[in-house]
Chain A
Amino acid sequence: MVFLTPLFLLGLIAAAIPIAIHLIRREKPPKVMFSTIRFLKKTSKKLVLFQHLQQILLLLLRSLVILLLVIAFARPLIDQSVARLLDADPQSAVIMIDLSMSMQYEDTFERARGEALDLINQMSAGDEVALIGFSEGAQLVREFTSDLDNVRSTITEMSDAGYGRTRYFPNLRLADQLLEESRFENRAVYLISDFQAAGIGTVEEGWKLAPGIAFSGIDVGLEESTNLVITDVRSPEQLLENASEQQILARIRSTGSVYLQDGDVSLLVNGQFVDRKIVDLVDRSEEVITFSTTFETEGSYIGEVRVSGDVFDADNSYYFTVDVLPKISVLTVNGEASENWYDDEGHWFGLAVAGAGQSPFELVNIAPRDLNEEVLRQSDVLVLLNVGNLADEQARVIADYVRDGGALLVAPGDRVEPDSFNSQFGSIAPALLEAQDLPDGNDYLVIADYDSRHPILRPLESDWSARFQGHWKLTPTDGSDVLMQFDNTEPALVERKVGSGSVIFFASAMDLEWNNLPLQGLFLPFIHETLRHLVQPELKQRAYSVGDSFSVNSDDRITNVSARDPSGDEILFTNNDFIMQASKPGFVTVDVGNAEQYFAVNILPEESNFARMPVENLFDSIINPDTNPIKSREVQNAQLAEELERPQKLWWWILSLVMVMILVESVIANRTYR
């Protein structure tokens, strides 16, 4: 049974009035002093019982009359007919539930779950439903099914909202694609969300839902919200040991609809409280808080900036990591030490390596004859500058050093004998020396091409204006990579992995004899990046946002990797890429070999912005002009019910029955009292 004007059913309360009057009056009958009750007591008990039954019957009749009147005004309709008609026009519906972080605000997600369940409850038995739980991408997809109970239980068991950001369009596209496979013509998308304005993202101009797909937005967001969010934290990613005091900058904003004017911000390093400051947002929309702290000893540090003073905890922490590294020990063997500093390759190289105030390198210069295994083992990287007269034993030690994980940078100059060099280092060299190329006159070469994706050259992407009047013609060996080329297409920089170590050949000298590179601004970073690349693994990005995918292992040679997510649960990797997708803020802890590394995962600040948009805006953006005006299931039901109610006219029959009952009531009432 359904009702066309169900509000009238509130009048059912009136049916209790006769009963209430009966009960109230029954409690306190008036007392009458009478001469004798002997004639009253003699009256037949059957008569009294009969009269009592008559009264109850009257009571029931009167209540029933009110009840039926109310039902008649509510315009009842036998719903089996509606169900039949609805079954004749089954629906394919996609229910989209927003699982973004903003849905964690108070009970927003629970209300969304309730709305989804209501939608399922309104479905008819023949309808099919697909379910999409989404944030930036779809997190849960359940394809079309007519098993509504199953969908209902899926919604009930659905985990709470996550930490992703809202993006409507990609997920609406997914819903649109799902509906392409739907069985029925009556198609609709129900989007349950808090309708954050940021969720629109990049408007996909021109894209609309397919014609005929109806859209209904169900807004479960709150009109009022309070929130403080840390939009950004600036901290050093890598430091050298014994570095000076560092500054941590945190940017705090109030993003709720109700503006918050203050809050507390705390800094924690390795879980230990460091400092606390007050945020003052009285006369500004955001404030930058500065903390000072030191990271002295070598190791990986995890830091957290935490804000308090609002009701939404999900975005109150910002995480960062700091890696404190030891200095790189560089052993330079200078084959052409000169009293004239401008001719001394070691001078120019030394200026680049140790000339800065806080150099990450410890430089040791030795003569070729002093090179031995003991000295070598104390160094992270060996640099051969125009060294042409090494003994075979020295060459063997160097080769072993490299194979065992050492690093070698070679800048051969005019003193190098190619045959001797090739025979001594051919097994580890990335290239063989062919011959010196010294153009005549003022002719020179320039760097024409380089691998801009290589870790050494990636940060040096600029105009290489150095001129090369002399260089070695190189023939790259197997397994080597040419990183840089002269404009005559000959290799300028070649790299090769050997065993656990690496070797890089620079095809020219490090002084002014063959080129003017030492005079270029790029010289110092080029040397630094080259040495760092040879010794340290590539600087791994440690900070990610929720939703990012990244590999927790930067070294392909290491396969024994385990990782735990911010909750402490072990992450299961399906392949050796060790790629994971960040799903919640905090630290991902990775055990690589025996070392422990940390990755900081933070929420996306835009998800903390609770500015909302009208549902109509999204509706206007996506609804296809060819789609008929949306008819929600309620409207559809109402129209069908209206059409069905006309021939049924149950109200007319009920009113007729009421008239008969009023007559019966009058007859009975006249036969008894009141």
Chain B
Amino acid sequence: MSESLNFLDPSVLAGLDNLELRARIVVEGFLSGLHKSPNKGFSVEFNDYRHYQRGDDMRHIDWKLYARSDKFYIKQYEDETNVRCVILLDTSASMAYSSGGTSKLDYGITLASALAYFVMRQRDAVGLITFDDEIRDYIPAKCRQPHLMHILRTLSNLESGKRTNVVKPLTDLAASLNKKSFVILISDMLDDEERVINTLQNLRGMGNEVITFQIMDDAELKFPFNEASEFIDMEDHESYITSPASIRKAYLQNLNEFLSFCRKKCQSSGVDYCLMNTAEPLDEALSSYMAKRAKSF
């Protein structure tokens, strides 16, 4: 477990060029410790068997078939394959920020690819939307294997864009969804937080499951600067000269108010919220997804 988790270190993962490999390491590492998960299974109409894969709920193994064939098979149900997951990845300029290790965008890309890999591995349909102030890439949700490669290629070619506008892609997505879906938002949410939360609430109100991964850099969360500096906003290039030590306390207070607002509003409206520090491993994201998925079905 601990050896595998080392591979989940964002800085180690960032050294891997192959995004598929990166996603697999994350997912496999995550799954190796998932057997003890208290998640209970789900049961809809039986459809087919498939081979057991690590991470599958052992409760769904068909033990009779095992007795006959000496192989593990999992019973697959009709509804299990109808889950559609749409991953929305923020590629705005602020996501390119890095205080030294992995940038928020790289972290988000790894996270998105791991989720996509994981979703596809679960034989669910997965789609991808990348955006900054407008939608840059849109890949509809599908569950075929080549589709995953398409998503990973798109993710590997991503570059940071302009300003953040989370509301627009969410609104567009809400208009296009005609079936209950998983909506995963990966963003720093440095936008008008009230409008973003309202849009997420709308999505949730439409019966979708919504998970928000708010990606923040360690420096954004701790503001470790000391020397008087000219801070330049990466999105609008506005500058502000200050001595960080003198305002650190006030900054952290403002930031925590923002994060707290996001967390509380999400929780109160049934949106799963997960704050992610780019200096921490990715398994928490996958846990969050799994827990949500387990709760939903």
- Show the binding face of A for B, using Cβ within 8 Å: 25, 29-44, 47-48, 51-52, 54-55, 672-674
Shortest 8 CB-CB contacts between residues of A and residues of B:
A673-B245, A51-B246, A35-B97, A43-B250, A35-B94, A39-B254, A43-B247, A37-B240
Instruction: Judge whether A673 and B244 touch: CB under 8 Å.
Output: yes
Given the known inter-chain contacts A25-B228, A30-B227, A37-B240, please indicate yes or no for A47 contacting B233, CB distance below 8 A. Answer: no
B258 in contact (CB, < 8 A): yes
Cα–Cα, bound, A41→B241 (Å): 10
Given A34-B97, A43-B242, A43-B250, 9 further pairs, Cβ under 8 A: A30-B230, A32-B230, A34-B233, A35-B94, A35-B234, A39-B255, A40-B240, A47-B247, A673-B245
- Across the interface, name the chain A residue whose C-beta is closest to B227: A30
Cα–Cα, bound, A47→B242 (Å): 11
Cα–Cα, bound, A39→B259 (Å): 12
Could you show 26 A-B contacts with beta carbons less than 8 Å apart? Answer: A29-B228, A29-B241, A31-B229, A31-B230, A32-B231, A32-B232, A33-B234, A34-B233, A34-B234, A35-B190, A35-B217, A35-B220, A37-B232, A37-B239, A39-B255, A40-B242, A41-B240, A42-B250, A43-B242, A43-B251, A43-B254, A52-B246, A672-B243, A672-B246, A673-B226, A673-B246
Query: Contacts of B240 on A, CB cut-off 8 Å?
Result: 37, 40-41
Q: Which of A33, A35, A39 is in CB contact (< 8 Å) with B258?
A: A39
B188 in contact (CB, < 8 A): yes
Instruction: Judge whether A673 and B232 touch: CB under 8 Å.
Output: no
Q: Which of A33, A51, A674 is in CB contact (< 8 Å) with B226?
A: A674
Cα–Cα, bound, A169→B229 (Å): 76
Query: Contacts of A40 on B, CB cut-off 8 Å?
Result: 231, 240, 242, 247, 251
B15 to chain A, nearest CB (A): 23
Query: Contacts of A47 on B, CB cut-off 8 Å?
Result: 246-247, 250
B95 to chain A, nearest CB (A): 8
Instruction: Judge whether B247 and A48 touch: CB under 8 Å.
Output: yes
- Across the interface, name the chain A residue whose C-beta is closest to B188: A35
Query: Contacts of B258 on A, CB cut-off 8 Å?
Result: 39
- Across the interface, name the chain B residue whose C-beta is closest to A40: B240
- Per-residue interface assignment for chain B, residues 178 to 192, with 1 indicating a CB less than 8 Å from any chain A CB and 0 otherwise: 000000000010100
Query: Contacts of A48 on B, CB cut-off 8 Å?
Result: 242, 246-247
Instruction: Judge whether A673 and B250 touch: CB under 8 Å.
Output: no
Query: Contacts of A37 on B, CB cut-off 8 Å?
Result: 231-233, 238-240
Cα–Cα, bound, A461→B239 (Å): 112
Instruction: Judge whether B104 and A35 touch: CB under 8 Å.
Output: yes
B297 in contact (CB, < 8 A): no
Query: Contacts of A29 on B, CB cut-off 8 Å?
Result: 227-230, 241
Cα–Cα, bound, A292→B291 (Å): 132
- Across the interface, name the chain A residue whose C-beta is closest to B249: A47
Query: Contacts of B255 on A, CB cut-off 8 Å?
Result: 39
B235 in contact (CB, < 8 A): yes
Cα–Cα, bound, A43→B239 (Å): 15
Cα–Cα, bound, A674→B235 (Å): 30
Cα–Cα, bound, A52→B241 (Å): 12
Query: Contacts of B242 on A, CB cut-off 8 Å?
Result: 40, 43, 48
B42 in contact (CB, < 8 A): no
Cα–Cα, bound, A41→B232 (Å): 12
B261 to chain A, nearest CB (A): 13
Cα–Cα, bound, A29→B227 (Å): 8
Query: Contacts of B250 on A, CB cut-off 8 Å?
Result: 42-44, 47
B46 in contact (CB, < 8 A): no
B49 in contact (CB, < 8 A): no
Query: Contacts of A33 on B, CB cut-off 8 Å?
Result: 97, 232, 234
Cα–Cα, bound, A42→B253 (Å): 10
B66 in contact (CB, < 8 A): no
- Across the interface, name the chain A residue whose C-beta is closest to B219: A34
Query: Contacts of B233 on A, CB cut-off 8 Å?
Result: 34-38
Given the known inter-chain contacts A29-B241, A33-B234, A36-B234, please indicate yes or no for A42 contacting B254, CB distance below 8 A. Answer: yes
Cα–Cα, bound, A42→B250 (Å): 8
Cα–Cα, bound, A30→B230 (Å): 6
Query: Contacts of B231 on A, CB cut-off 8 Å?
Result: 32, 34, 37, 40
Given the known inter-chain contacts A39-B254, A39-B255, A43-B250, please indicate yes or no for A32 contacting B243, CB distance below 8 A. Answer: no
Given the known inter-chain contacts A35-B190, A36-B190, please indicate yes or no for A55 contacting B243, CB distance below 8 A. Answer: yes
Cα–Cα, bound, A40→B225 (Å): 12
Query: Contacts of A55 on B, CB cut-off 8 Å?
Result: 243
- Per-residue interface assignment for chain B, residues 27 to 69, with 1 indicating a CB less than 8 Å from any chain A CB and 0 otherwise: 0000000000000000000000000000000000000000000
Cα–Cα, bound, A479→B94 (Å): 132
Cα–Cα, bound, A48→B230 (Å): 14
Query: Contacts of B227 on A, CB cut-off 8 Å?
Result: 29-30, 673
Query: Contacts of B230 on A, CB cut-off 8 Å?
Result: 29-32
Query: Contacts of B247 on A, CB cut-off 8 Å?
Result: 40, 43, 47-48, 51
B141 to chain A, nearest CB (A): 30
- Across the interface, name the chain B residue whose C-beta is closest to A36: B190
Instruction: Judge whether A673 and B243 touch: CB under 8 Å.
Output: yes
Query: Contacts of A42 on B, CB cut-off 8 Å?
Result: 250, 254
Residues from 145 to 202 in B contacting A, C-beta threshold 8 Å: 188, 190
Query: Contacts of B251 on A, CB cut-off 8 Å?
Result: 39-40, 43
B182 to chain A, nearest CB (A): 27
Instruction: Judge whether B241 and A36 touch: CB under 8 Å.
Output: no
Query: Contacts of B190 on A, CB cut-off 8 Å?
Result: 35-36, 38
Query: Contacts of B94 on A, CB cut-off 8 Å?
Result: 35-36
Instruction: Judge whether A34 and B232 touch: CB under 8 Å.
Output: yes
Cα–Cα, bound, A155→B229 (Å): 61
Cα–Cα, bound, A40→B229 (Å): 12
